[in-house]
């Protein structure tokens, strides 16, 4: 780990809208002078992006169905929306997304969840999503790929502030400087990128969603009608009788608890020999919130704090796990998670699952702390950990989680609800066989994903190469 030191003048602290003393922020503005790329002719983003005044849709029933977009629906570093749903009601106020050319999140934009909306289609989205117009002197596709280049995202991370939900203030975003490139040069760069975009689309067309692979195997093995479940899931209106309300020891009247898509699943789960409570296989415990007034370390340390943001079905994104100071780690070390344990997100975006392997993550075995947004599952007996990892990603568990969650100010699957969750209790040999089938298919998908990422990196190389060339020629608009 390299120790960086620099000296700044106090007057520099007053040059930005907010008083920020953290290392990365000051390094970016005072040492790099807000320049992402080395260039002698720069332009500030406030001269490239124009803010759109956000209009709101109030929570509750909607006048017409709307397409809901959250940060998780924007594919990282790929100009694409995934798994968007049409909704008829929303649990919180949403932004109307339609007028802008590019959508950029305030929350952790360094993850690359940005997307162009040049056709100005209407969506409703999280209040974390903001729209911007791209000035006519710039090619929006060039701006998008520059913004989602690894170099740009790395510097964007230095501007984040906050404790658990780290954001970049739009005022700081506008202060970033990029090389001033004439539009005709931007057009030439985009023209070179287009064949790569086409190849990426071809590769993506052959990709199967991991969840669908897992669902098909579990549905076949355990006798679930997956086709009927998917069909029932789309039903917005259904009837239920008062007698069914008494099937739980709590009075639950929410539509998601009584949804008809659950009928087939509930019937199967009645087999007590095959389906057992999750606490018969795992010890259940929780994570811990960072104490009030504390925050992440701006310096690299040996201690890490895992949040749902860093988790996907493909694994844990180690490069974006925030660091903890030694002092804060010592206060939280009781809530560590170690190799072989699983965690499931239970707040906000519930049902994200990770199987921890600290050696693979290059983290010392007791140095990973679990946030309060998780349930930790510690095996009580010899199991195939991957089997249960796949199971918790499957529609069988996800449907149970979707049934049991409650909402006050935010969606949550509290630890008390886990006594109702069922898991399959099958021989170890059966677990291994299912894991082998799923893993073989997922490995094929992983190879395709690696090819896609390799192609995406070529776009970064094209942009970087042309920026260096343009810098030598000192193009001025």
pLDDT tens across 150-162, in order?
999 999 999 888 7
- Sequence ranges of the domains in the chain: 210-435
Residues 6+ positions from 425 with CB-CB distance below 8 Å: 273, 274, 275, 276, 280, 281
Q: Please tell me whether the overall predicted TM-score, pTM, comes out greater than 0.85 for this model.
A: no
Residue 121 confidence (pLDDT)? 95
Regions of the chain with pLDDT less than 50: 1, 258, 475-477
What is the per-residue pLDDT for 476?
41
| 210-435 CATH fold | Adenine-n6-DNA-methyltransferase TaqI; Chain A, domain 2 (3.90.220)
pLDDT of residue 262: 67
Q: What rounded mean pLDDT belongs to the chain?
A: 86
Say what the pLDDT of residue 269 is.
80
Q: Determine the pLDDT at residue 282.
A: 95
Q: What pLDDT does 259 receive? A: 54
């Amino acid at each position: 780990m390299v120790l960086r030191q620099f000296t700044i003048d106090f007057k520099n602290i007053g040059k930005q809208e907010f008083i920020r003393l953290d290392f990365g922020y000051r390094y970016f503005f005072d040492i790099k002078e807000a320049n992402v790329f080395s260039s002698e002719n720069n332009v500030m983003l406030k001269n490239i992006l124009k803010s759109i005044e956000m209009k709101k849709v109030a929570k509750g029933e909607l006048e017409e169905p709307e397409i809901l977009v959250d940060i998780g629906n924007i594919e990282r570093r790929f100009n694409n929306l995934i798994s968007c749903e049409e909704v008829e009601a929303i649990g919180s106020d949403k932004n109307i997304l339609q007028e802008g050319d590019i959508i950029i999140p305030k929350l952790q934009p360094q993850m690359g969840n940005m997307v162009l909306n040049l056709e100005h289609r209407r969506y409703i989205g999280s209040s974390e999503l903001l729209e911007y117009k791209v000035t006519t002197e710039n090619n929006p596709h060039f701006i998008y790929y520059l913004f989602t280049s690894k170099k740009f995202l790395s510097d964007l991370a230095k501007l984040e502030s906050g404790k658990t939900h780290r954001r970049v203030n739009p005022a700081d975003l506008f202060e970033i400087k990029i090389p001033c490139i004439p539009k005709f040069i931007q057009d030439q760069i985009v023209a070179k990128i287009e064949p790569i975009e086409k190849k990426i689309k071809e590769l993506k067309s052959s990709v199967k969603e991991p969840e669908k692979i897992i669902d098909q195997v579990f549905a076949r093995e355990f006798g679930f009608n997956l086709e009927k479940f998917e069909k029932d899931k789309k039903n917005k209106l259904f009837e239920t009788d008062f007698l069914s309300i008494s099937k739980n020891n709590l009075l639950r009247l929410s539509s998601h608890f009584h949804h008809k898509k659950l009928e087939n699943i509930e019937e199967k789960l009645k087999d007590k020999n095959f389906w057992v409570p999750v606490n018969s296989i795992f010890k259940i415990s929780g994570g811990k919130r960072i104490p009030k007034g504390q925050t992440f370390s701006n310096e690299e340390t040996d201690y890490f704090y895992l949040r749902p943001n860093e988790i996907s079905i493909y694994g844990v994104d180690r490069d974006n796990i925030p660091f903890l100071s030694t002092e804060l780690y010592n206060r939280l070390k009781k809530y560590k998670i170690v190799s072989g344990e699983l965690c499931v997100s239970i707040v906000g975006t519930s049902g994200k699952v990770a199987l921890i392997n600290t050696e693979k993550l290059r983290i010392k075995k007791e140095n990973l702390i679990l946030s309060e947004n998780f349930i930790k599952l510690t095996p009580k007996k010899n199991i195939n950990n991957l089997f249960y990892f796949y199971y918790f990603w499957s529609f069988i568990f996800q449907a149970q989680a979707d049934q049991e969650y409650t909402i006050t100010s935010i969606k949550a699957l509290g630890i008390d609800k886990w006594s109702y969750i069922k898991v399959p209790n099958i021989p170890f040999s059966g677990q291994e066989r299912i894991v082998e089938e799923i893993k073989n298919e997922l490995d094929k998908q992983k190879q395709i994903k690696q090819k896609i990422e390799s192609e995406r990196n070529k776009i970064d190389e094209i942009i970087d190469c042309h920026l260096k060339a343009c810098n030598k020629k000192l193009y001025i608009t």
